[in-house]
Chain A
Amino acid sequence: MSPVAHTPIDRRSFLRLTAMAGGGLVLGHYVLPSAGAEGAAPAAEKVNGLFIPNVFIRIAPDGAVTIFSARPEVGQGIKTSLPMVVAEELGADWKSVTVVSGQLDPAFGPQFAGGSMSTPMSYAEMRRMGATARTMLVQAAASAWSVPPGECVASAGAVVHTPTGRRLGFGELVARASALPVPDEGSVVLKDPRDFSLMGTRVGGVDNPRVVTGQPLFGIDQRRPGMVYAVFQASPVWGARPLSANLDHVKALPGVRDAFIIDRTVPAGQLTGLVPGVAIVAESTWAAFSARAELKVTWEEGRFAKSSWDDFARQAGELAAASPDSPSIAEARRDGDVDKALAASARVVEASYSYPFISHANLEPQNCLVHVQGDRAEVWAPTQNPDGARKIAAEVLGIPPEHVQVTITRIGGGFGRRLDSDPVAQCAAIAQKAGVPVKLVWDRTDDLQHDHYRPGGFHFLKGAIDAQGRLSAWRSHHVSFGSNMGADDYPARFVPNYLLLTSVLENGVPQGPWRAPGSNTYAWVTCCFLDELAHAAARDPVEFNLALLGDRDLVTGTGRKGRPYNAARMRNVVRQVAEKSGWGKPLPRGSGMGLGYYFSHQGYIAEVAEVTVSRSGDLRVDRVVAAVDVGSQIVNLSGAENQVQGSISDGLSAAWRQELDIRQGRVVQSNFNEYPMLRMPDAPRKIEIHFVKTDYPPTGLGEPALPPLAPAVYNAIFAATGKRVRQLPISRTDLSWS
């Protein structure tokens, strides 16, 4: 995803420009830069009477402050946190702030929510937006009083002249401030973080009151006059095409308006956009679901019709046994001489780790609402990637992207799934034929069987411990389904003799980003194998890992990912988590502690899990302690803690029981009864979070607290039971001990 470049200064003239283009008068078509899911987006006709220093802020004469939140809210809390950044710099009274979101508009700059990128990409800019507006309000007040602006401060929604205590509310300054030129970026002074009074506190989500009263916030809740309901049956076998279907029978069923075959892929040849299938359009969701139960389709199943997980595992085993010169094996990184170091070592540990495909299983099933009128379309979608939604809808409909207007709704869970817009593509194709607004809703089976999965994988590892008990060699062969470990992925750069080999299994399984892509499994493989090596070296795992992290502070990147690894930050969180968790305290047999740590999404996070395994093998996670370094500033403490708690529990959910089986080219599981996810009784009893502040720019928290959890729990299971488990999920293994 490359962020769209955008004009940093003179936002007001940029706004005017956008309002004209968006208003579409030039194009002779009146598309209001439309009422979003919950309000109006920037529009020229709303400018009058308001102070609008930039596209993110509006202040009304009564002092009401409106802050626009451009990024989709998936539950990561961005709709609250980025406006808090604006409000902090502005000096607004949070109680008089209304946050509005919902519209895709290039004036806002990049609008996707993914990769934990919203905070790092927007934090500095949101500060500038707030500070620019505050500077203008202060200037307006200073000129009203004929005093130097330096004697005035903005706070709690007013500007105060410090020497005299005179005060003008933001509302009273609207007219004067609106007449001022927008100052250039360089002249705007940001607040000293020591003066922050809103950021770093616990603020409840701005939509909470509407969430707890059941308001129509989500994609699936949207409705338009004259709307019909659609389902889409894609082939259970990936890459298949419908040859025929009992369409006449289905069309005659009660409440059914239409049924038809869609036989194309958009983008052409890809499995993650529009895929071939059968659409049913009906007068209600239930009529559509009921009709679908009677749909019979004959498929041409294609070349992946025989794939199975067992066969993938067999192929992976063959690759592991093959000579490294085999054409199916690539060398991703080689440092030193691994074979020599293995031969010279005091101990060699060999292990293979594997994990299955898993699903995002967003609780809100995929859905979309589209209304196509001529060469224009309106889309309402719970999308993490509104620009991608616009593009794919345009491509399906054969119209220019500017003719597609996208309203971003609240999202009932993202986790990366909604960066892909296949439901938008399907709904657009159906709505084009229907000619009226169409709401497409997937059922849970669609959702589990047509996800873009977190890939499974196989890792074949060898590690060597030298006579001094140090890790002297690491040899790893990663057999993947498309995307492999990178040359710089940990512990590369920290082991003198290091070899990473990669292979890819040919497969037709659609894959996509799942919370902390790559890291979500690599952390497990890496930290579990490191734990094995620590025990082989008869060293304490915390001490062993700290020693591995060495004494360099910043380790530069060399490989494909090329990111520097700040070993000092990582050592710091590992030490902190050991201290806070009481690492090393004696525990009875059946209880144990384990360490996991990983650098992902610019965050340095270490976690210790404390578990109890009963003699009969029942697992309980008693406590998880996390040390979290995401830079200098936590924006919303409540939201940040919620993300870490959620990532830890989600990590446990994935590690404990989530697994999809593949047989005959399709996913076997069809609903939550076959795909058990974490429930309250199994949630960690306690989660303790320690934010470690460092002098680095703030980064995101939607993802990086997840990867360390699985290895922490697995290593704790080993400490508790002596059982070394090398496959995910936990439920595959009998943990009983005696």
Chain B
Amino acid sequence: MSKFNLQVNGRSHEVDVVPETPLLWVLRDNLDMVGTKFGCGIGQCGACTVHLDGNPARACQTPVASAASSKITTIEGLSGDGSHPLQRAWCEIDVAQCGYCQAGQIMTAAALLSQNPSPTDQDIDDAMGGNLCRCATYLRIRAAIHRAAELAQAGKEIRA
């Protein structure tokens, strides 16, 4: 066991775990942040997507030791209050069916929008291809990403 200091959603947490433990299980079991989901454990489904220093990463493939130096953002910390344009768009478009994949979808989409504020269908397909939705809500996910891009744009215009 080793002690790690993790920066998660702007707060620091000390955990004492085996260094190889995937970040996914540290979040879920040690920190009781269960929004990040387990789907496959081998980097195939994207349900466990978090941000490390703003970049999307598979928490099931990230040993806690290698995440200790990064700023970690999970779905719980994306906005804190559900007000991120993607979260609003997801509710507006009523994307979720079972909802299990959606935290991972939103985290991947958030990284996309931060790189590319007005993505095309093709950009979205390219960015989202690693996130499985067993309920196959893909058309709504795509629509909601476009909608979030609009909401974010409108938000900027209002602030400007």
Q: Which residues of A does B touch, CB under 8 Å?
A: 73-77, 202-205, 207-209, 211-218, 220-221, 223, 229, 254-255, 284-287, 289-290, 361-365, 410-415, 441, 443-444, 638-639, 642-643, 645-646, 649-650, 652-653, 671-673, 677-681, 683-684, 686-687
Tell me if A286 and B131 are in contact (CB < 8 A).
Answer: no
Tell me if A363 and B47 are in contact (CB < 8 A).
Answer: yes
Tell me if A286 and B74 are in contact (CB < 8 A).
Answer: no
Tell me if B134 and A214 are in contact (CB < 8 A).
Answer: no
Closest partner residue, chain B, to A649 (CB atom)? B136
Known: A214-B103, A365-B39, A413-B98. A650 touches B34 (CB 8 A): no
Known: A220-B34, A364-B37, A673-B44. A205 touches B75 (CB 8 A): no
Tell me if A671 and B42 are in contact (CB < 8 A).
Answer: yes
With the chains together, A653 CA to B18 CA distance in Å?
A: 38
Tell me if A212 and B102 are in contact (CB < 8 A).
Answer: yes
5 contacts between A and B (CB under 8 A): A212-B87, A255-B18, A285-B25, A643-B97, A653-B136
Residues of B contacting A216 with CB < 8 Å?
A: 34-35
Residues of B contacting A207 with CB < 8 Å?
A: 96, 99
With the chains together, A365 CA to B40 CA distance in Å?
A: 8
Closest partner residue, chain B, to A217 (CB atom)? B99
Known: A75-B99, A284-B25, A441-B38. A650 touches B91 (CB 8 A): no
With the chains together, A683 CA to B139 CA distance in Å?
A: 8
Tell me if B91 and A212 are in contact (CB < 8 A).
Answer: yes
Q: Which residues of B does A touch, CB under 8 Å?
A: 1, 17-18, 21-22, 25, 28-30, 32-42, 44-45, 47, 74-76, 78-79, 81-82, 86-87, 90-92, 94, 96-103, 106, 124-126, 128-142
Tell me if B134 and A362 are in contact (CB < 8 A).
Answer: yes
With the chains together, A155 CA to B156 CA distance in Å?
A: 39
Q: A204-B92, A284-B29, A680-B141 are in contact. List 4 more A-B contacts (CB 8 A).
A: A75-B98, A209-B91, A642-B137, A646-B136
Known: A75-B97, A77-B97, A214-B75. A204 touches B37 (CB 8 A): no
Partner of B100 from A218, A638, A649, A652 at Cβ < 8 Å: A218
- Chain B binding surface, main DSSP class: loop
How many inter-chain contacts with C-beta < 8 Å in the A-B complex?
197
With the chains together, A3 CA to B86 CA distance in Å?
A: 41
Tell me if A215 and B98 are in contact (CB < 8 A).
Answer: no
With the chains together, A74 CA to B96 CA distance in Å?
A: 11
Known: A213-B35, A254-B18. A645 touches B137 (CB 8 A): yes
Known: A212-B82, A444-B39. A75 touches B96 (CB 8 A): yes
Residue among B29, B102, B141 facing the most chain A CB atoms (10 A cut-off): B29
With the chains together, A211 CA to B37 CA distance in Å?
A: 12
With the chains together, A76 CA to B97 CA distance in Å?
A: 6
Residues of B contacting A218 with CB < 8 Å?
A: 34, 37, 100
Closest partner residue, chain A, to B104 (CB atom)? A363
Q: Chain B's nearest CB lies how many Å from the CB of A594?
A: 20
Residue among B32, B34, B97, B139 facing the most chain A CB atoms (10 A cut-off): B97
Closest partner residue, chain B, to A412 (CB atom)? B100
With the chains together, A52 CA to B98 CA distance in Å?
A: 30
Tell me if A286 and B100 are in contact (CB < 8 A).
Answer: no
Residues of B contacting A642 with CB < 8 Å?
A: 94, 97, 137, 140
Closest partner residue, chain B, to A678 (CB atom)? B136
Residue among A216, A413, A441 facing the most chain B CB atoms (10 A cut-off): A413
Q: Chain A's nearest CB lies how many Å from the CB of B80?
A: 9
Residue among B92, B98, B133 facing the most chain A CB atoms (10 A cut-off): B98
Closest partner residue, chain B, to A364 (CB atom)? B100
Known: A642-B137, A649-B136, A671-B44. A286 touches B29 (CB 8 A): yes
Residues of B contacting A671 with CB < 8 Å?
A: 40-42, 44
Partner of A413 from B75, B130, B134 at Cβ < 8 Å: B134
Residues of B contacting A677 with CB < 8 Å?
A: 132, 134
Tell me if A672 and B132 are in contact (CB < 8 A).
Answer: yes
Residues of B contacting A681 with CB < 8 Å?
A: 125-126, 129
